[in-house]
Structure 1
Amino acid sequence: MSKKIAVYVRVSTEKDEQISSVENQIDICRNWLERQGFEWDENCIYKDHGISGTFFLERPAIQQILQQAKKKEIDMVIFKSISRLARDLKDSLEIREVFIAHHVRIISVEEGYDSHKAGKNDMAFELWSLFSAQYSRTLSAGVSAALAAKVRRGEHIGRIPYGFVRIDGKLQILEEEAKVAQMIFRWYNQGWGFKRITKELNFLGIPSKQGNQWQMTSIQRLIGNPIYCGDFILNQYTSIKVSGRKKQIRNTPEQWIWFREQHPAIITREEWEQANPNLTNKDKRKFTPWNDLRSILKCGMCGSSMVILQSHKVLSTGEKNYYRYLKCSRYRRIGSTGCVNHKPITYEEMKSFIRNRLIEKGRLLELHFVHYPSSDYEKKRREFEKSFQSVQTKSQQLLDLYLDQFITKDEFEAKRIELDRNAHYLQKQINLFQQENHRIREVRRVQEAFDTMEEQGQSLLHVFKTLVEVVILHPNLEVDIVYRFECP
């Protein structure tokens, strides 16, 4: 029976030397396969182009291979080196566990790693993955140092900001856009808000850098960028990994590398500091309030996320009564040209409505909650897995006997059919156990979420995400909820 093989190759940039390494990786894998007696198939190649090895959830080819492994559509994965598979230790081990759990053989040619020979608890794979992760961190530090050197020479890196043009690597003022940037700072220092400036620019028909309408967040970023007074900040943002995906966070000002008077200024330093007093007065920093409905609550008109804004009412005693209310993020950024303004509703009212609706559903829901599998259940599962491993071993031994001519072809075929039939039956039973385990875990997860819902004073973000796919808030305050469980 021919093996279903996947050859995985990855390059992290589009540079010519990296592109040529694709052929190099393929040749190395092909040479290994042919020397081992496997038949080469051009359709077995899976490529990830221009994608970092540190974020495996963002690589479509490796995700496709993992899905095929789970569906029993491949038997073996081969790659040039573990650094091509992943440059993060946790990701390498997670990918390996998926392959091992679904009986997919792993071959890393450069390190000479073969999961069939190594066994599940082999330390070599972990060590090579650790070396690969360390190399990635060392490379990142080297790149950062090289970028800092370029900035010190007066060169600009990154996107070209509004009001500038890049010539020979250095920023020069683009007069027409610079006049608009000066006008934005002047309006803001006169007391105009971000929203008013956004509306005025769009009303005047002044396009953004990309030729689109202005958004409020674009105005916020422009005013907060010291590039307009001639400065440049390096190391302002850092990429981190959250649940296997890339996320950019802003570093604290203490971590910034600030280059002053690095290029021609559009406004004076005094104008910029007047617009950005928060960088010198830390007491004026604003923090985004906690949002248990984050990424769940959507606008029913445009589909954008609903965000929390804070306001206050002055009481008769002179005290301020602060409250939080919900607003469509697109309407907040662009105004009426982007979406509509919802009828007013506070964050607490919306959160309480969803919580009460879920509590009501939970009480009506007839979930057949189950306990963890019994010891007999676990014993049977282990017996099936042990029997399956035994059948695989016998199949390999049978092949060796046939190749060494100890048995005839007819004897080999008869025994092979019997072993294949047993392997198919055992694999089917193991799959049933796995499906049952998955169902048990999902039911218990839903049960625990409903139990947490009844508790007071608890953060409900995780609970909401477990039980709810999306909550759609329409402008007239009608609410549609899509649940992650079957409703009664």
Structure 2
Amino acid sequence: MTGQLRAAIYARFSTDMQRDASIEDQIRSCREYAARQGLKVVETYSDRAVSGASLMRSGMQKLLRDGRSGLFDVVISEGLDRLSRNQADIAQIYQSLLFAEVMIETVSEGAISEMHIGLKGTMNALFLKDLAVKTHRGLKGRALAGKSAGGLTYGYSAVHQITPNGDPIRGDRTINNGEAAVVRRIFQDYAKGISPKKIAEALNVEGIPGPQGGEWGASTIHGNRERGTGIINNSAYIGRQIWNRLRYVKDPATGKRVSRLNPESDWVITEVPDLRIIDDALWEKVRTRQGALKSKETGVPVWDRRRPRTLFSGLMECGCCGAGFSKVQKDSFGCSAARNKGKAICTNMTTIKQKDLEARVLDALAHHLMDPEAVTAFCEAYTAERNRLASAATSTRTTLEKDLATTKRDHGKLVDAIIAGVPADQVKDKMIALDARRKELEGQLAQADSSAAPVRLHPKMSETYRERVAALIRGLADSEGMEEAREAIRGLIEKIVLTPRADGSGLTVDLHGALASLLLLATGAPVHRIARMAAGGQNDKSSAGAELQGVDMIDKSVLVAGAGFEPAAFRL
């Protein structure tokens, strides 16, 4: 075995304007660089037509996972901007790979250091900002000219033309007669009083593809009137194009884009009579019906009303199609897809009374989950896993301590050099880098110490669990503590799967417990902490293992009543 360093190559191109061969060009360039540096290429990663402004890229995510697994020692890319153009993201990539002791080298910049991350990250961020301004300006010009400045709207087809010098002409559209007929049908049916979900059901039964090529849903038709979304709210169908109604910003927590409504003064409205599909009379009939559907009590439009909140709303799932269950009658739940998209998507029309569902689930939480035999098995498995992790942590700590000692020693040598007469400006950058490394290593050691002590779990915690669940259920009748008890109970549940019984006698209810939350309750954690996780959503539930140091390796498992800790559910 030689001491040759192992290298991974990453390549990316971001738009359809770049050639797909760009990936191969980048990889070839990186391979040549690796050969010159004496590196052995063991893996390649790539993302095609994906923006560098986000880390939500399959190739990049796989590279980071493999880097943490020790698959390679160096990442090679054509340039730092191929890894990311976002300043925060490139810093995150650098820190993640640095922690895994993986270096970054690029064909254009060579070995990457903190200086490159700061300077190039800033330059790339400014490039993105400048590109966004120029793109917005160009799109506004298209919109003012009556051309498409965004995605292609259902009911229209793109017109492909080129200029005499061979450049494509973008933004021209023409009416797609087949889709336009569907648009007119939707408007006419809605104006007659047919509900969006019935319209969607009929289109799905006939096999008519939706705007994205899939099924039709009620929301695709009614959308949001204020935001101009949904078929019946799109003013393009009356020959009026509205551009810049919405703007999109990236949520730094998820990396996903979210829309926000712009002030009406920023909208660009252009008349395009040649693209009219719906006449004014039909358009106004639809507007009139929408106005009539406002709630008499609140005045909230039907497209903005939220479903009535119940104890288990949002946790129920159809066992046939995976869609959610929602209120279909005053006191009953049913499959949303079966009612909104029709039998072509789901045939589960069986309902369950709210009172019956809540009684069955609460009884299971109180008497079946946290079975004593299952808890004993878990405690044994937990102890074994903690011993394995403790051994691994000891090895990691030894490595960190050695690195810290080396860093301090190197820093001390530079101080001695300055004392001996070496100009400080010659070693300043190296000293700053070593000091930053020292702080990083000290932080990693502190983190290792804080996570060293395992949570103490006892086989009899099932008794504590039952007592606390019973108290929570009683709290549902207490006006003061009702909300906290409700949210805490929701936090104990991963999902509730409802499937029709073969004999047609009702629904089978499969209850999946949220393991980390169940253990938190059983080990005496405050109720408000579990309630907060439930209120925060699924992401908070899945990270609840952080509250139980050492339990995070199983926080996505499902606690099974009476059947050990297997990925299954308790059937009611």
TM over 0.5: same fold? yes
Residue from 328, 342, 352 that aligns with 2:350: 342
1:223 match: 232
- Whether the 8 Å CA contact 1:9–1:26 is kept in 2: the answer is no
Q: Which residue of structure 2 lines up, in the alignment, with residue 166 of structure 1?
A: 158
Name the structure 1 match of 2:282. Answer: 271
SS of 1:13 mapped into structure 2:
coil
User: Which residue number in structure 2 is paired with residue 51 of structure 1?
Assistant: 50
Is 1:150 aligned to residue 158 of structure 2? no
Question: In the aligned structure 1, how far is the partner of 2:490 from the partner of 2:109?
Answer: 45
Give the aligned partner of residue 405 of structure 1: none
CA–CA distance in 2 between the matches of 1:85 and 1:463?
Answer: 43
Q: In percent, how many aligned pairs have the same letter?
A: 22
Which secondary structure does the structure 2 equivalent of 1:478 belong to? strand
Write the distance in 2 (CA, Å) between the matches of 1:459 and 1:130. Answer: 48
Q: Deviations over 1:359-391 (max 9, x none)?
A: 653585467699x99xxx999964542226669
CA distance in 2: counterparts of 1:141 and 1:53, whole angstroms: 17
Corresponding residue for residue 38 of structure 1: 38
Deviation at 1:6, TM superposition (A): 0.9
For the pair 1:133 / 2:89, whether they are aligned, the reply is no
Q: What is the rounded CA distance, in whole Å, between the counterparts of 1:274 and 1:130 in structure 2? A: 53
Q: Secondary structure of 1:99's match? A: helix
Whether contact under 8 Å (1:9, 1:48) holds in the other structure is yes
- 2:243 corresponds to which residue? 234
Contact 1:113 1:125 (C-alpha < 8 Å) held by counterparts: no
Q: 2:70: which partner in 1?
A: 72
Where do 1:287-302 residues align within 5 Å?
287-289=305-307, 297-302=316-321
Paired residue type of 1:185: F
2:400 to 385, 388, 404: 385
Residues 98-146 of structure 1: per-residue CA shift (max 9 Å, x gap): 212221122245455535xxxxxx4652453344234323322322222
86, 92, 95: which is aligned to 2:93? 95
* Paired residues of 1:470 and 1:481 also in contact (CA < 8 A): yes
1:251 maps to amino acid:
L
Deviation at 1:54, TM superposition (A): 2.3
**1:328 equivalent in alignment to 2:335:** yes
Cα offset for 1:332? 2.7
Say if 2:328 and 2:334, in contact at 8 Å, map to a contact too. no
Q: CA deviation at 1:456?
A: 4.5
Within the candidate set 498, 503, 524, 1:473 is matched to 498
Q: Kindly indicate whether residue 267 of structure 2 is the aligned counterpart of residue 257 of structure 1.
A: yes
Report the counterpart of residue 318 of structure 1 in structure 2: none
The DSSP-based 3-state class of the residue aligned with 1:56 is coil
Selected match of 1:457 from 483, 489, 499: 483
Give 5+ residue unaligned stretches, structure 2: 161-170, 223-229, 410-443, 473-480, 501-505, 514-556, 565-572
1:185–1:435 distance in 2 versus 1, CA, 3 Å: farther
**Who is 2:9 aligned against?**
7
Question: Which whole-Å CA distance do the structure 2 matches of 1:155 and 1:486 have between them?
Answer: 56
1:192 shift after superposition = 1.7
Matches within 5 A, 1:78-89: 78-89=76-87
2:276 matches 1:284: no
Structure 1: gaps (5+ residues): 116-121, 313-322, 395-429
CA contact (8 A) 2:11 2:82 kept: yes
The letter for the 2-side match of 1:343 is: T
Amino acid in the other structure paired with 2:276: A
**Structure-to-structure mapping, 1:388-407, within 5 angstroms:** none
Q: Output the CA distance in 2 between the equivalents of 1:342 and 1:21.
A: 51
Structure 2 SS opposite 1:457 = helix
TM-score normalised to structure 2 length? 0.59
Q: CA RMSD in A?
A: 4.7
Residue 295 of structure 1 deviates from its aligned partner by 7.1
- Alignment CA distance shift 1:60-1:201 (3 Å): closer
- Stretch moving more, 5-14 or 384-393: 384-393
Alpha-carbon distance in structure 2 between the residues aligned to 1:129 and 1:478: 54
CA distance in 2, matches of 1:345, 1:256: 48
Q: Which residue identity does 1:136 align to in structure 2?
A: L
- Quote the offset at 1:195 in angstroms: 2.6
Cα deviation code 1:163-192 (max 9, x no counterpart): 333335433334454344323212212222
From the superposition, tell whether residues 207 and 13 of structure 1 become closer, same or farther in structure 2 (CA, over 3 Å). Answer: closer
Distance 1:256 1:359 in 2: 56
How big is the shift at 1:208?
Answer: 5.2
Classify 1:18/1:95 alpha carbon distance in 2 versus 1 (closer, same or farther; 3 Å): same
Q: Is the contact between residue 11 and residue 51 of structure 1 (CA under 8 Å) also seen in structure 2?
A: yes
How far apart in 1 are the matches of 2:496 and 2:119? 45
3-state SS in 2 of match to 1:341: coil
Closer/same/farther in 2, CA of residues 205 and 389 from structure 1, 3 Å limit: closer
1:73 to 1:380, Cα distance in 2 relative to 1, 3 A: closer
1:315 corresponds in structure 2 to: none
CA deviation string 1:221-270 (max 9, x = no partner): 22122221112233436253464443454636748735242242111335
Distance of 2:26 and 2:213 partners within structure 1: 42
Which deviations, in whole Å up to 9, do the C-alpha atoms of 1:32-81 show, x marking residues without a partner?
5445x41454x543221111122223x22222222222221111112233
Look up the match of 2:543. Answer: none
Count residues with an aligned counterpart. Answer: 419
Indicate if the aligned counterparts of 1:5 and 1:77 stay in contact, CA closer than 8 A: yes
Task: Classify 1:353/1:248 alpha carbon distance in 2 versus 1 (closer, same or farther; 3 Å).
Answer: farther
Partner of 1:418: none
Assess if the C-alpha contact under 8 Å between 2:7 and 2:39 holds in 1.
Answer: no
Give 3-state SS (helix, strand or coil) of 2:271's partner: coil
Following the alignment from structure 2 to structure 1, what is the Cα–Cα distance between the partners of residues 38 and 238?
64
- Determine the C-alpha separation between the residues in 1 that align with 2:559 and 2:125: 42
Distance in 2, matches of 1:231 and 1:237, equals 19
Match of 1:426 in 2: none
What secondary structure is seen at the aligned counterpart in 2 of 1:155?
coil
Q: Which residue of 2 aligns with 1:182?
A: 184
